[in-house]
Structure 1
């Protein structure tokens, strides 16, 4: 009689989300050569720009975020596994809805954008219905678990505001647009990174028992964001400026507390050696903080040139690079769990940190970070033809780096060959 070896029969759905999101970012990155000169002039709201921005945020970044939540909630919070059928219907519909929105932006057909956005909203609602069902059944309900619901809840308001703008484009005024941007950029993406960092960074650097204050940090951070939003709608006397300045101060305090906590976690780590992708993640987190500080200060002094480059650094240099860094830890772990965990050949399997080809992955991130820096320079000090040249250099470097990273992660999925049968 043959004994069964309890291995995972299917590769984690998270891998499909991460690799799909990585690929969906390429068209947007490839358009930076055209877009950066326009962004430097402050021209952001035009068809190609709107299409590229929404394709990257919804198609690439949000797809990756869906995949991360798919895996983090069961593992980090000890919740029941998410049913695999969620992947089978959610990911194709998500990609199709984002593609239709992109087509609508390119053709300036807001009806198509609204239809695609409505499908995206409904599909996301169903996704979080399944995720939420398992989320509330988690056994490890830490402070991170409780506060994570805050940035996730913000996503609904971001999508609803987007739907309103696509459905009634003639009724859009600066308050609505700014609220959409602040909620999406700072409250959702900034907040999501902040909250998950308190779980992922200690997990990856093996640091436990450090005194940190997520509750205080999140309180200051979200209070600042809320006051910013209120200030965009309040126009009586100098009240708007007071609200904005107080909000900026609260936001800065939140970012300072966040930086302090991340430094404490890294300093008191139990394992002295840090895997190379974590160095990349820490660099990306630093760029996130620098970008948000730049956004706060440029808003405070009304310096629009600094505002655009700060948003660029926060998004491309911080958020996206952080996702790329974490992928180099998550994909090898999930492949090891699928291919080698609880099997006899696990003793000869490579270490998880050695699965990603180091030279290729390092080259990919150097290209990406280098392209981001060149793009920031083009947005800040470039003039005339130099802006165009720097924009195309940035375009090629960032797109090429992302593609090289895909090849590195794709290589991980070939290590050990096909998974053997479950029976000896």
Structure 2
């Protein structure tokens, strides 16, 4: 197997470490950082650890692996990928330490290093995409997601400069809103939907499914991201924010309709519990997205309340982004490891098959428990109950650590 193929493993293993660290620190505080709100040192640490140390780290590794499958061409620069990994990882963990210490200059220095890693990643991916010249909803979604990641980094750097120098104080709240919107809905939303157009047909062995709705999702989601980010950045009224939410909710509904189209054309009865749970997770998320958008339409004045934002953030990041990643790694990690370790021995006596690497009933049980625990934290947030948050959050973290350990055991087989 080419040496390049080792690059995704660096991101995957580091992402697993970030995931475990996030849940270990959440257990230490019994998820108390949720009750304190995210605009505190503890909140900054936990949110950036979750978003960058876990979800983004895994997403970058997935991009490096899947871009070859999508484009059927090589990465622009493997060496640049390793440099990106080093700068981003060192910058990220230095930034996290800066949040713990509350040292603005430490935060600024390592944030700059992490942002440099993002720029290198964007450059590498842009060069790869443009060199291949293959443009369809999958590659366009990927390209848009990476562009929004760059904008997220830029807005974060602008906020950091504001903290350090006091410049643009009147823009800080606007930048903060755009930073969150671009990073969550832009980067994660378009990456997950775009990659799912490739992954789900592979997992289901689906053929001859319609693809028209992919373009509809891409258009609606981009419109929602751009309208929402612009409404924050330019200080627009609540009407544009509600419109952006409606666009995203509609995109989620159409995306679910397309996923069901793929599922109906499957030639494999079951792709495994991880993928089945990801489809159910999409449907649950769609129900919440529609309900949240309708509530915003009915009562726009409460849209940016702290409790509302925290609850919506938990639904989106934990209930959809992270849960989808957890579902997908149950298929992606065994496949990558089997290909890396046993690909050249396929068919030889004594060579394990892919199904031998991971116990699927345990995956099914673990994902069921994780989803239930996540919903219990959501109930605690909705009820404003620290006790329910602590109990649900503790269960969620313990179950998540056990699940990621189950996935990590693949590397020992």
Structure 1 residue aligned with 2:255: 258
TM-score (norm 1): 0.85
Structure 2 residue aligned with 1:78: 72
TM-score (norm 2): 0.87
Q: 1:254 and 1:377 mapped to 2: Cα distance?
A: 26
- Identify if the C-alpha distance between structure 1 residues 404 and 129 changes in structure 2 by more than 3 Å, giving closer, same or farther: same
Larger CA Rg, structure 1 vs 2:
1
Structure 1 residue aligned with 2:199: 200
The more displaced of 266-275 and 175-184 is 266-275
Q: 2:295 and 2:176 mapped to 1: Cα distance?
A: 18
1:132 aligns with 2:134: no
Q: 1:250 and 1:60 mapped to 2: Cα distance?
A: 27
Q: 1:370 and 1:263 mapped to 2: Cα distance?
A: 23
Whichever structure has more helix as a proportion of its residues is: 2
Structure 1 residue aligned with 2:328: 326
Q: 2:296 and 2:215 mapped to 1: Cα distance?
A: 26
Task: Choose from 11, 17, 20 the match for 2:11.
Answer: 17
1:336 aligns with 2:333: no
Conservation of the 8 A alpha-carbon contact between 1:25 and 1:59? yes
Conservation of the 8 A alpha-carbon contact between 1:228 and 1:244? yes
Unaligned runs of 5+ in 2: none
Q: 1:9 and 1:231 mapped to 2: Cα distance?
A: 45
Conservation of the 8 A alpha-carbon contact between 1:281 and 1:322? yes
Q: 1:346 and 1:128 mapped to 2: Cα distance?
A: 41
Q: 1:280 and 1:214 mapped to 2: Cα distance?
A: 21
Render the CA deviation track for 1:382-419: whole Å, top value 9, x for unaligned: 53xxx23x33333332332332233323332233xxxx
- Identify if the C-alpha distance between structure 1 residues 142 and 226 changes in structure 2 by more than 3 Å, giving closer, same or farther: closer
The 5 A counterparts of 1:15-414 are 15-32=9-26, 34=29, 36-37=31-32, 39-40=34-35, 43-81=37-75, 84-86=78-80, 88-138=82-132, 141-169=135-163, 170=166, 171=169, 172-212=171-211, 213-233=213-233, 240-293=237-290, 295-300=292-297, 301=299, 302-303=302-303, 304=305, 305-343=307-345, 345-346=347-348, 348-383=350-385, 387-388=386-387, 390-414=388-412
Structure 2 residue aligned with 1:419: none
- Identify if the C-alpha distance between structure 1 residues 80 and 96 changes in structure 2 by more than 3 Å, giving closer, same or farther: same
Q: 1:82 and 1:136 mapped to 2: Cα distance?
A: 10
Q: Give the 3-state SS of the residue equivalent to 1:167 in structure 2.
A: helix
Q: Give the 3-state SS of the residue equivalent to 1:154 in structure 2.
A: helix
Q: 2:9 and 2:348 mapped to 1: Cα distance?
A: 20
Q: 1:77 and 1:205 mapped to 2: Cα distance?
A: 20
Conservation of the 8 A alpha-carbon contact between 1:275 and 1:353? no
Structure 1 residue 88 displacement after superposition: 4.2
Unaligned runs of 5+ in 1: 1-6, 416-424
Render the CA deviation track for 1:160-180: whole Å, top value 9, x for unaligned: 110111121242532211111
Structure 1 residue 289 displacement after superposition: 3.2
Conservation of the 8 A alpha-carbon contact between 2:22 and 2:46? yes
Q: 1:162 and 1:40 mapped to 2: Cα distance?
A: 24
How many residue pairs match? The answer is: 401
The more displaced of 14-23 and 295-304 is 295-304
Higher RCO (CA 8 Å, separation ≥ 6 residues):
1
The more displaced of 185-194 and 341-350 is 341-350
Render the CA deviation track for 1:319-340: whole Å, top value 9, x for unaligned: 1111111111111111221222
Conservation of the 8 A alpha-carbon contact between 1:36 and 1:379? no
Conservation of the 8 A alpha-carbon contact between 1:78 and 1:139? no
Q: Give the 3-state SS of the residue equivalent to 2:282 in structure 1.
A: helix
